[in-house]
Amino acid sequence: MGTYVIRRLLQMIPVILGATFLIFTMVFALPGDPLAGKCGERPCPPAYAAAFREKYNLNDPLPIQYGKYVGNLAQGDFGETTNGIKVIDQLKARYPITAKLALMALAFEAIVGITVGVFTGIKKGGFLDNLVLISTLVVISIPVFVVGGLSQYFLGVKLGLFPVTVTSANPSFYQLMLPAMVLGSISLAYISRLTRTSLVENLRSDYVRTATAKGLRRRRSIGLHALRNSLIPVVTFIGFDFGFLLGGAIVTEAIFNIPGVGGYLFRSIRARDGASVVGTVTVLVIVFLFVNLLVDLLYGLLDPRISHD
């Protein structure tokens, strides 16, 4: 196990370098002048323009710029925005909010999705199965901004169950409940259908029939044998989805006025603030890689036949 973890950690290094190089190249190789609009409608003074280009290494070729960025990154320095604000300070203030929102959405979609998938898998072809099938198709087909707007109107304005928008820089659990449900709604539909399909397939397996024939109670044969193997593709999807939730909350954060990473990344792209964009995506890549490592380790707990030795 220890050797496997070390090997995976070493494999992350070229992935991180490759991902950061691609995003760095795409951001800083775009045509246009980074000084455009920095001094209003008038062109910037030559002295200011020279100092600006020197500070942000804009006079160097792109490979040298990337080399300097990686050197600073290895020391924990994600650079500065064009306004002189350290990117790491912005990420420290915003990532906990987005991480809390993503974890809440993940818990919501996993608990509800797996529960619904188990019940529909056991009662395959029944009324509940058909109802869930139609409901998931409807949820998947509706864009997230429509789901967010309808949730705000009915659950926030009409019923008053949740706040319509987030009004504080450090939102509480209650304020993030509705955005988390909206963010996890589409993934919930996928998880429920994936759990249902996988469970139905495993319930027809020989080892489940053998366990039942030996006198094992149906509830125990499902929970101990069929469900554990059925959760392997579900855990894979959840691990992938967590990385997506961290970076894909742009629309949800905009709808509910959440001061998280999604809105910060969107504004940085519009402002062409390369340091902010690269720093945010770099952290997303690192988190995504560690979550994938955790998912791979969970495989061994769900299925003892999978070994990491």
Q: What is the CATH number of the domain that holds 116?
A: 1.10.3720.10
Where a domain ends, among 20, 39, 74?
Answer: 74
Average pLDDT per consecutive 10 residues, the chain (309 residues; last block may be shorter): 80 86 79 66 76 76 84 82 80 87 91 90 81 85 86 89 84 90 88 88 76 72 74 84 74 85 80 80 84 79 64
Residue 269 is part of which domain span? Answer: 94-302
In a domain, 277, yes or no: yes
pLDDT at 21: 87
Give the integer Cα–Cα distance in Å for 54 and 233.
Answer: 50
Do 182 and 277 share a domain, yes or no?
Answer: yes
pLDDT at 30: 67
In a domain, 158, yes or no: yes
- What is the per-residue burial (b if ≥16 Cβ within 10 Å, else e) of 71-109? eebeeeebbbbbeeeebeebbeebbebbbbbbebbbebb
pLDDT at 35: 67
Quick one: which H or E segment has residue 231? helix 227-247
- What is the per-residue burial (b if ≥16 Cβ within 10 Å, else e) of 165-193? ebeeeebeeebbbbbbbbbbbbbbbbbbb
pLDDT at 64: 86
Q: Is the pTM of this model over 0.85?
A: no
pLDDT at 40: 66
The residues near 289 (Cβ < 8 Å, ≥ 6 apart) are 12, 15, 16
Do 244 and 188 share a domain, yes or no?
Answer: yes
Give the integer Cα–Cα distance in Å for 10 and 239.
Answer: 20
In a domain, 79, yes or no: no
Q: Rounded to whole angstroms, what are the CA distances from 257 to 132, 158, 264?
A: 31, 19, 11
Q: How many domains does the chain have?
A: 2
pLDDT at 143: 85
pLDDT at 248: 57
In a domain, 88, yes or no: no
pLDDT at 178: 92
Quick one: which H or E segment has residue 17? helix 2-28
